[in-house]
A and B are shown apart, each in its own frame.
Chain A
Amino acid sequence: MPTFDEIKSILSHYTVGIAGAGGLGSNIAQALVRAGVGRLIIADFDVVSESNLNRQFYFADQLGRYKVEALKENLLRIRPEVTVEIHNLHLTSQNIPVIYPTVDVMVEAFDVAEMKRVLIELFASTFPSIPLVVGNGMAGWGNSNTMTVREMGNLYLCGDGVSEVSVNLPPIAPRVGICASQQANVVVSLLLSKYFGNENNP
């Protein structure tokens, strides 16, 4: 089995795209930077608000700042040599193919279900060979064992597949973190499988 230095050195050659820098995207980015992924391409239009701090990888002194800028700053504090390409915009079916064509693995980290579908349909038709890792169902608390990874070809669905966010079922750090970590774990596993086989399946 490889050492972490070997793992980090392999991951440094790869680019991962992340669509959205909220509860999923910011935490996935953090995990991938710590694991050693060389380059991230992250897009989001939003600014950091107080309600984000219950789960997103931002700090109180970053309120009001653009998420992609604050996130890049936080990621560079973890590992200054990582390359973080940021796009401060609303992702659409028009600009997604322009921003993400060079990624080795793509991560869906949107909030809104409609955008999850747009990305799934777009990647299937435009970049069918790029694996897409989706977060679907992580609201509330407890029920840790309902969080799973479902493999559907090169589409990977993480989360419980049932819990929709609402006023009475808010997204909270632990469960959002489980889903984000499942997604990051699938990404790392896909990238390393080229070197170490599928011994550790996604």
Chain B
Amino acid sequence: MKITLNNRAEELDLNQPAISIEELLVLKSFTYKMLFVKHNGVVIKKEDYPVTNVAEGDNVEVIHLMTGG
């Protein structure tokens, strides 16, 4: 499955047509404790990561948020 992840083309080796945001974060080793996710331009709430599916051609942005201000 081909998606765009943080503005880069990404080929995911999957035997299923879609993957949840939660699974994608584990698969691509996003281990930051604080981040936010945009899926096709829409901010996804953390509680919706397990129920939001990423499919062929989708655009996902994962941004690390850090303390300081």
Q: List residues of A whose CB falls within 8 A of some B CB.
A: 20, 22-25, 109-114, 116-117, 120-121, 124-125, 135-139, 152-153, 155, 157, 161-165, 171, 176
Contacts and interface: CB of A to CB of B under 8 A. Distances in A.
Interface string B26-46: 000000001110100111011
Contacts of B64: 161-162
Given A113-B34, A114-B34, A137 B46 contact: no
B45 A163 contact: no
A23 B68 CA distance: 9
Contact of B69 (A20, A124, A161, A163): A20
Contact of B42 (A113, A124, A136): A124
B44 to A, nearest CB: 8
A136 B32 CA distance: 14
A94 to B, nearest CB: 15
Contacts of A121: 36, 43, 45-46
Interface size grouping (class) on chain B: 10 to 19
Contacts of B67: 111-113, 164-165
Contacts of A155: 38, 43
Interface of B: 34-36, 38, 41-43, 45-46, 61, 63-69
Given A120-B36, A121-B36, A152-B38, A162 B66 contact: yes
B61 A139 contact: no
B55 to A, nearest CB: 20
Contacts of B34: 113-114, 116-117
